[in-house]
Amino acid sequence: MPTVSSEELAAAAGVNSAKLRKDFSYLGSYGTRGVGYDVEYLVYQISRELGLTQDWPVVIVGIGNLGAALANYGGFASRGFRVAALIDADAAMAGKPVAGIPVQHTDDLEKIIKDNGVSIGVIATPAGAAQQVCDRLVAAGVTSILNFAPTVLSVPDGVDVRKVDLSIELQILAFHEQRKAGEEAASDGAGPAAVTREESARSADQGPDGDVPAVMPA
């Protein structure tokens, strides 16, 4: 039986082994003392807890460049997502296939949601249309929305919204870039706002995690 110890996993992931064990313990996934975790069972447990074993039908509304990019994105299928439908307001696009899936018109939005049992919607429309689309999705039964439009959506309680702003990541890079450039100039110790830049402990940090606090950067 192939197994891994928490120590091995922690080293590979770059995290603390105790934290990893504690996290696993919340899952109820029992390892074997003196041996480690059964790899196959562990994978199954985590997959199930994360919802990877389920089939999540999603609809993408707004088939412009971004919507098309999302429809073509390969990473979805392996994580349990299935693009159930593509929806666009442009009647000229109706019927045309994108990524092998025919585009349907906004008029049929409600029917599409219900027929496919969709609970997750992706909004890739222009900013002006986003709230309206959102309202219709919610009314049709969608309870989770991924919003790429540069608008903050208002939704009733019980509906989750996650906003993806593609320029924020660039912003963060630019901020660090500025610090790099200003470092030698700032080393004279003068000037206000001489916020010291601490190097990230984990050099391999490539995630969208809280490097930069809500109001002010670290």
Binding site for DNA (CB under 7 A): 4-7, 15-19, 21-22, 24-25, 30-37, 213, 218
- Confirm if 34 and 87 have CB atoms less than 8 A apart: no
Q: What's the token pair of residue 39?
A: 């790899």
Q: How far is the CB of 189 from DNA (least distance, A)?
A: 17
- Confirm if 139 and 99 have CB atoms less than 8 A apart: no
Cβ–Cβ contacts within 10 Å for residue 98, how many? 19
Q: 144 to 163, contacts with its own copies by CB under 8 A?
A: 144-147, 150, 152-153, 157-158, 160-163
Nearer to its own copies, 11 or 107 (CB): 11
100 binds its own copies (CB under 8 A): no
Q: Which of its own copies, DNA, none does 37 bind, CB closer than 5 to 8 A by kind?
A: DNA
* CB under 8 A, 24+ apart: contacts of 200-206: 202/14, 204/14
Residue type, 178: Q
**In the block, residue with structure tokens 């200003």:** 182
189 binds its own copies (CB under 8 A): no
Nearer to its own copies, 92 or 193 (CB): 193
Q: What's the token pair of residue 113?
A: 């949601």
Q: Which of DNA, its own copies, none does 132 bind, CB closer than 5 to 8 A by kind?
A: none
Position among 74, 100, 128, 189 found at the interface with its own copies (CB under 8 A): 74
Q: 17 to 56, contacts with its own copies by CB under 8 A?
A: 19-20, 23-24, 26-29, 45, 49-51, 54, 56
Q: 126 to 145, contacts with its own copies by CB under 8 A?
A: 143-145
Tell me the DSSP string of 42-77.
Answer: HHHHHHHHHTTTS-EEEEEE--SHHHHHHHH-TTTG
Q: How far is the CB of 8 from its own copies (least distance, A)?
A: 14
The answer for residues whose C-beta is within 8 angstroms of residue 139's C-beta and 6 or more apart is 110
Q: Which stretch binds its own copies (CB under 8 A): 34-42, 86-94, 105-113, 201-209?
A: 201-209
Nearer to DNA, 11 or 127 (CB): 11
For residue 205, is it left (φ>0), alpha (ψ between -120 and 50) or beta?
Answer: beta
5 binds its own copies (CB under 8 A): no
